[in-house]
């Protein structure tokens, strides 16, 4: 059976993460049967991580501010998660289903796949964001927020 998604719900969550006027800095999109839906949005990074389970396959969207005292701006990450306990057929479908999500999630500085919580360490993602941001002339600041 083909996968569908709640494009309007996903779009609203996506725009909320992108909007500097909101505190929301992440969104998680999970499968409910053959439909991908918004699981949650929020502010706390530990709450974001709580959605990434060994038996889950999901997509995450994350906002971080990076830069230095001369330039500070929001950067975004698109994360594809396939837990280590996910079966082969469901694992294979994720790469196809990612195209559906990317019809809505179109703007991000980094994209990566993860299957271990160690891959989602805040500092590791921060370092990828800084690298994607290019020049960094000052003392450097970077935080989720």
Spans of all domains in the chain: 4-143
C-alpha–C-alpha distance, residues 56 and 84, integer Å:
8
Q: How sure is the predictor about 69, in pLDDT bands with cuts at 50, 70 and 90?
A: confident
The predicted-structure confidence for 76-96, as pLDDT tens digits, reads as follows 999 999 999 999 999 999 999
Q: Give the fold, CATH level 3, of 4-143.
A: Severin (3.40.20)
Residue 67: the pLDDT is 74
Q: Which residue has the higher pLDDT, 72 or 110?
A: 110
């Amino acid at each position: 059976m083909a996968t569908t998604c709640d494009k309007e719900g996903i779009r609203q969550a996506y725009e909320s993460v992108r909007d500097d006027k909101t505190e929301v800095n992440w969104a998680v999109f999970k499968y409910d049967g053959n439909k991908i839906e918004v699981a949650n949005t929020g502010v706390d990074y530990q709450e974001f991580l709580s959605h990434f389970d060994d038996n889950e396959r999901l997509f995450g969207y994350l906002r971080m501010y990076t830069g230095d005292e001369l330039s500070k701006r929001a950067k975004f990450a698109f994360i594809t998660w396939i837990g280590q306990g996910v079966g082969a057929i469901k694992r294979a479908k994720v790469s196809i289903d990612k195209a559906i999500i990317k019809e809505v999630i179109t703007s991000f500085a980094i994209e990566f796949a993860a299957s271990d919580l160690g891959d989602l360490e805040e500092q590791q993602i921060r370092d990828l964001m800084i690298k994607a941001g290019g020049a960094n002339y000052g003392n450097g600041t970077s935080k989720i927020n």
